[in-house]
Structure 1
Amino acid sequence: MPRSRRLPALLAVAGGVPLVEAAILTRIDFVSPRALAPQITAVWPYDTYHDLRWLFVYHNSWLTFALGLVAAVALRGALSVLLVLLSWPVQAPRPATGALVWRNLGVAALTAVIVTPFAALSVAASAVALSWYLFVSLGPMILLAPFLQRMAVVPRGWRGLPSAELFGWSLLDLVVLSVAGGLVWSAAPAWTPLVALAAGLCNGLLWHQTVRAALRPAHVRLPRVPAVPVVVALALAVPLVSQILAVPRSGTRDTFGPPVFSQPLAASVPYAVLLLAGHDSAYDGRPAADPRVRRYSYAGVDAGGRPLPYQALDTHQSLATSAERLAAQVDALHRRTGRPIALLGESEGAMVARTYLRDRPGSPVRALLMFSPLVRSGRAYYPPAEASSGWGIGAGWVLRAMFGFANRLGNGTSNPDEPFVRSLIDNAPFYRYQTMCPIPGVRVIAFLPTVSSVEAPPGPFTRIPVVEVPALHAGFLGRRMIADEMIGFLSGQNLDKPRTEYGVLQRLGAAWQAPPLTVTLNPAWRGQVPPGTKPFLQSQLCAPVS
């Protein structure tokens, strides 16, 4: 192809493919995953990350998973060859097309293997709405990007270090994809394909520059060092090490101590308060400083109605079981104090409280404070281990292998089939759409860390007041300002403090989430949604569920 036509052809391919994906998603009114469209022509490994997230969510048998994986590798390799050929500088000697085909097919297969655990973690992030898994899945790919880009272009690219220029283009690619995803999601439906086209044109320019950067260095640093195997090993170690470090300490040493537990309750508070700690918390049985305050125990109560000490493993039980035990403890506290009850739950504790209030509309609870609730959890699915088919079956077994290996190395107990996790994904329509909704007769508020902004797709996610706090998940309940606001709410004040950056971060994070599984497609969920529900409805927030 003449030199004058190569760049236009490159831009046409790089921009046209995202345009088609965005147009299809817009046509079927599938809004949530539109931010993924620009990545379909991104440089390595974000292109494969795009493919595998779609595959891991939207396959319902081992056969469709295997066929989808082969097709993804073949199509990705072919598209990469085309983009590399169109990006190749005229003045540089080019290897035979056949050699580039085999090289890029090999890189596509290798990248699929490398990216598989990270794509599975993105599914886990959608299932339990924890940004921790999303960050762990994305971080290693930032490290891998310049190495894989070089391998697709030059022979023996697995040896030596990429140039600083190639590292720079790789980081710019991450920024471009994040911003492009936010813009594509924010655009009106009529403009969405055109914004995706513009994002694809940026991809084409990045291919143009990264191919040149990979070819440019005359001297490769550490040319004999097998850099790619070393970097791949380090990248794959990240999720395992992260899981090992997250293992809670054994024993029942108390890990949850908000000020309301250790200090007398203000006289202006008309409630008795029950405190619910989160996942992997522990409790040593100590009473609160104020008799009107009591800790919820995942292990239940003794013969005298006092909460029993519990260990981290007790928090792994199902939400239904935890809600049953909460019911007994709410009734006991209400009888003892004669006061209406306020529930203060953090993370899993918030979900236990929300499950309890779903099933017991006539309870004595009159206030609910949710700290770091799992916003829009249940957006992905994988069947139980004994199932032979079902949506996301491959992703489920990849997660089991990862957690199992990490548990062996670090003596952990978490796994993707523990009853708490299965509660979220088996009852996804409720937890995805009802967690942040008003409850008749109950004053409700949610305190959200800004990190939760990247846990769910942008758009409407709440119809209750929120206080958004610059913080990590479950990392701010002990702050004095938060304690004051909590007491203010319990004393009757109305609070609602959203932050401007929350919506911005939602859009920047949209490109890195797994596409949600539609609730009407999964037989396990179909009976929990009203008949006639549209399959790709952007948000069924607070709509009735069965």
Structure 2
Amino acid sequence: MGRAVVGSAEGGGVGFLRNRFVALLLLAAFPPALEGAILAGYGFRAAEGVAPQFSAVWPYDSYHDLRWLMVYHDSWRTFFLGLVALILLRAVYTTGLVLLAWPRHLPRPGFRRLALRNLALTVVVTAVVSPWAALSMAASVVALSWLLVASLLPLFLLAPFLQRAAVTNSWWRGWPSMELVGWSLLNFVVLTISGALVWTVPAWWTAPVAAVAGAINGVLWQRTVGSALEPRRRVHWARVPVAPLAILLAFIVPVVLQPVLAALPGKTSKPPPIALLDRPLPPTVGHAVIFVAGHASAYDGQPPVDPNVQWFSYRGLDSQNRPQPFVPRDTYRSIESSVAMLDKQVELLHRRTGRPVALVGQSEGALVARTYLADRPHSPVNALAMESPLINAGRSYYPPPGVSQGWGVVAGWQLRVLFHIADSIAKSGSGPDEPFVRSILDNAPFYRNDLMCPVPGVRIVAFLPTTTATEAPPGKYAGVPVFEMPAVHGGLLARPIVEERLLSFLGGQPISQPERGYTLLQEVSAAWQAPPLALGLNPVWRGQRMSDPAFTGKVCQPI
């Protein structure tokens, strides 16, 4: 009889534990499914990959919330009201997850105490994550992969430290256990894969796949809470405030890294050798060529070997109509002013050589060259090669410093503070309000939708490094032939195979070489992109009516 009572108690305990686990999975699965259903219902394809992060383990859940808030607020009031609401909702939701994930055999704090701890933790994590969420938004403005990595890497490194904070008072001391580090790494992998899957499946599967991803988050919550409460090994450096030191390093390292790299021996602003500039053009090329260098580039005034090739100067021409030397700060000018100078340099080169003109634009130079063709459809230019163009740039917005309202206004000021701190050491003069960046912000519909589109009467090719695949949400962003290969931003023109293909293109041959893994890289980065600001919402953009790639996943589409 005694055995029957024990067995019944054990069976009840197992049943209770099983029911609590099911409740955890449901609580973790429902919000991502709801977010996925709403995004799929609106056809907001570019943002679907972030839905599984709604129930992710610290700090990715707050990263999810803040990226939405950074993009979708239009005043200081709406930002702070939204921030308070997000903190309260996130604290209540996390408290429920922690309660259900708490190991049954360990004593658990009361609901009120746990709720207050999670409220305080939400405030701390929000403060820690906020700069990186703003940086993620900056990455969506200029479409640079290194900015996206810079916004994500600190979270990846801090996750094992922050994930202890929801369950233990001593979370800020000592190293996290290897088990907790392992669950943290798995958490990142799951969010990356689930973000890719949510974007890849048809719209009607978005909510179910997001629900499954959310349920997996529930399992990770259970494992993470258990690991934080029961480290299998002795905590190393148990008296050292390791977590605050790690957070401090996460802020300091990005600030000091740029000036340190700039000071390395042998560092120079002179570009690597490019065949176009340091040797004569082959006889098959009948064009005069202007090379338009990228952002923060420099030119020492040395003319190319071939007289039919010319640098574009961001300082304009001298009294003898020769391109003037320029320094990196000269490239910070607005795209419109660069286009005006390019127009004059094209006309003079065409007149001097009697040849049609081809433009070779790199990074910022690609945007300048493509904008020139859009503004001057009957120019002497009939060929354009773009290397590392900023794909789908201008996906977010923030108003100029003198404007107190507008989409992303608070995020803009946060970026100004971050870049001011970094520039106090780097002394580069670059920042979120330099004229080049404001040109992208103000004319975002063109750079989001038309940059990679054909131009009547002009042959175009785009040389894309594989890192470009991570610079925008998944989609088909090229309406022109592309040549893709593994490389970093701005690193293709010095490659022998690219030099050969570029000269072949200038000689009239068609060039096209898509990379098989390019689409896969787009998909695995889907979870970490900031959600784009819908083109139709921003009054600054409403005068430029066109299709929105955030919803169509394509460019060059009619309205």
- TM category (shorter chain) comes to over 0.9
Residue 141 (structure 1) aligned with residue 150 (structure 2): no
Q: Aligned match of 2:342 in 323, 326, 334?
A: 326
Residue 486 (structure 1) aligned with residue 502 (structure 2): yes
Q: Is the 8 A contact 2:532 2:550 kept in 1?
A: no
Q: In the alignment, what sits opposite 2:551?
A: 537
Q: 2:96 is matched by which residue type in structure 1?
A: L
Q: In the alignment, what sits opposite 1:393?
A: 409
Give the distance between the partners of 1:253 and 1:2, measured in 2 at CA: 66
Q: In the alignment, what sits opposite 1:123?
A: 137
Residue 274 (structure 1) aligned with residue 298 (structure 2): no
Identity %: 51
Residue 497 (structure 1) aligned with residue 528 (structure 2): no
List aligned pairs for 1:182-193, cutoff 5 A.
182-193=196-207
Residue 515 (structure 1) aligned with residue 531 (structure 2): yes
Counterpart secondary structure, 1:525: coil
Give the distance between the partners of 2:319 and 2:269, measured in 1 at CA: 22
Q: CA deviation at 1:427?
A: 0.2
Give the distance between the partners of 2:525 and 2:31, measured in 1 at CA: 22
Question: Per-residue displacement from partner, 1:77-121 (whole Å, max 9, x unpaired)?
Answer: 111111111011111111222221111111111111011110011
Counterpart secondary structure, 1:524: coil
Q: Is the 8 A contact 2:449 2:549 kept in 1?
A: no
Q: 2:239 is matched by which residue type in structure 1?
A: R
Q: In the alignment, what sits opposite 2:86?
A: 72
Q: In the alignment, what sits opposite 1:37?
A: 51
Q: In the alignment, what sits opposite 1:473?
A: 489
Q: In the alignment, what sits opposite 2:246?
A: 231
Give the distance between the partners of 2:499 and 2:190, measured in 1 at CA: 39
Q: 2:411 is matched by which residue type in structure 1?
A: A
174 and 252 in structure 1: CA distance in 2 versus 1, 3 angstrom threshold: closer
Q: Aligned match of 2:380 in 346, 364, 378?
A: 364
Q: CA deviation at 1:238?
A: 3.2
List aligned pairs for 1:20-419, cutoff 5 A.
20-217=34-231, 219-245=234-260, 254-255=270-271, 257-419=273-435
Q: 1:354 is matched by which residue type in structure 2?
A: R
Q: CA deviation at 1:430?
A: 0.2
68 and 253 in structure 1: CA distance in 2 versus 1, 3 angstrom threshold: closer
248 and 123 in structure 1: CA distance in 2 versus 1, 3 angstrom threshold: farther
Q: 1:144 is matched by which residue type in structure 2?
A: L
Question: Per-residue displacement from partner, 1:179-224 (whole Å, max 9, x unpaired)?
Answer: 1000000110111100101111110111111011111126321111
Give the distance between the partners of 1:475 and 1:120, measured in 2 at CA: 27
Q: 2:396 is matched by which residue type in structure 1?
A: A
Q: Is the 8 A contact 1:243 1:403 kept in 2?
A: no
511 and 536 in structure 1: CA distance in 2 versus 1, 3 angstrom threshold: closer
Give the distance between the partners of 1:45 and 1:467, measured in 2 at CA: 38
Q: Is the 8 A contact 1:519 1:525 kept in 2?
A: yes
Q: In the alignment, what sits opposite 1:461?
A: 477
Q: CA deviation at 1:451?
A: 0.5
Comparing 219-228 and 131-140, the one that deviates more: 219-228
Q: Is the 8 A contact 1:158 1:228 kept in 2?
A: yes
423 and 146 in structure 1: CA distance in 2 versus 1, 3 angstrom threshold: same
529 and 57 in structure 1: CA distance in 2 versus 1, 3 angstrom threshold: same
Give the distance between the partners of 2:548 and 2:288, measured in 1 at CA: 42
Q: CA deviation at 1:40?
A: 0.3
Give the distance between the partners of 1:285 and 1:424, measured in 2 at CA: 28
Q: 2:192 is matched by which residue type in structure 1?
A: S
Q: Is the 8 A contact 1:146 1:166 kept in 2?
A: yes
TM-score (norm 2): 0.94
Counterpart secondary structure, 2:108: coil
Q: 1:406 is matched by which residue type in structure 2?
A: A
| CA RMSD, Structure 1 to Structure 2 (Å) | 1.7
Give the distance between the partners of 2:496 and 2:45, measured in 1 at CA: 39
Q: CA deviation at 1:544?
A: 5.7
Counterpart secondary structure, 2:289: strand
80 and 244 in structure 1: CA distance in 2 versus 1, 3 angstrom threshold: farther
Give the distance between the partners of 1:13 and 1:469, measured in 2 at CA: 43
Q: Is the 8 A contact 2:329 2:428 kept in 1?
A: no
Q: Is the 8 A contact 1:248 1:280 kept in 2?
A: no
TM-score (norm 1): 0.97
447 and 535 in structure 1: CA distance in 2 versus 1, 3 angstrom threshold: closer
Counterpart secondary structure, 1:526: coil
Give the distance between the partners of 1:246 and 1:269, measured in 2 at CA: 38
Question: Per-residue displacement from partner, 1:417-449 (whole Å, max 9, x unpaired)?
Answer: 000000001100000000110011000000000
Q: CA deviation at 1:76?
A: 1.1
Q: 1:193 is matched by which residue type in structure 2?
A: A
Q: In the alignment, what sits opposite 1:449?
A: 465
Give the distance between the partners of 1:45 and 1:83, measured in 2 at CA: 14
Comparing 229-238 and 254-263, the one that deviates more: 254-263
Comparing 79-88 and 214-223, the one that deviates more: 214-223
Q: CA deviation at 1:494?
A: 0.8
Give the distance between the partners of 1:285 and 1:217, measured in 2 at CA: 63
Q: CA deviation at 1:252?
A: 10
Q: CA deviation at 1:302?
A: 1.0
Give the distance between the partners of 2:325 and 2:414, measured in 1 at CA: 34
Counterpart secondary structure, 2:358: strand
Give the distance between the partners of 2:536 and 2:52, measured in 1 at CA: 26
Q: Is the 8 A contact 2:269 2:297 kept in 1?
A: no
405 and 253 in structure 1: CA distance in 2 versus 1, 3 angstrom threshold: closer
Q: CA deviation at 1:475?
A: 1.2
Question: Per-residue displacement from partner, 1:256-284 (whole Å, max 9, x unpaired)?
Answer: 64211001111101111100110000111
Q: CA deviation at 1:246?
A: 6.7
Question: Per-residue displacement from partner, 1:509-539 (whole Å, max 9, x unpaired)?
Answer: 0100100000100000011115xx6897324
Q: Is the 8 A contact 1:529 1:544 kept in 2?
A: no
Q: Is the 8 A contact 2:535 2:548 kept in 1?
A: no
Q: Is the 8 A contact 1:451 1:473 kept in 2?
A: yes
Give the distance between the partners of 2:540 and 2:256, measured in 1 at CA: 33
Extract structure 1 runs of 4+ deviating beyond 4 A.
245-249, 533-536
Q: Is the 8 A contact 2:59 2:159 kept in 1?
A: yes
Q: CA deviation at 1:231?
A: 0.6
Segments of structure 2 that go 5 or more residues without pairing to the other structure are 1-14
Give the distance between the partners of 2:329 and 2:550, measured in 1 at CA: 37
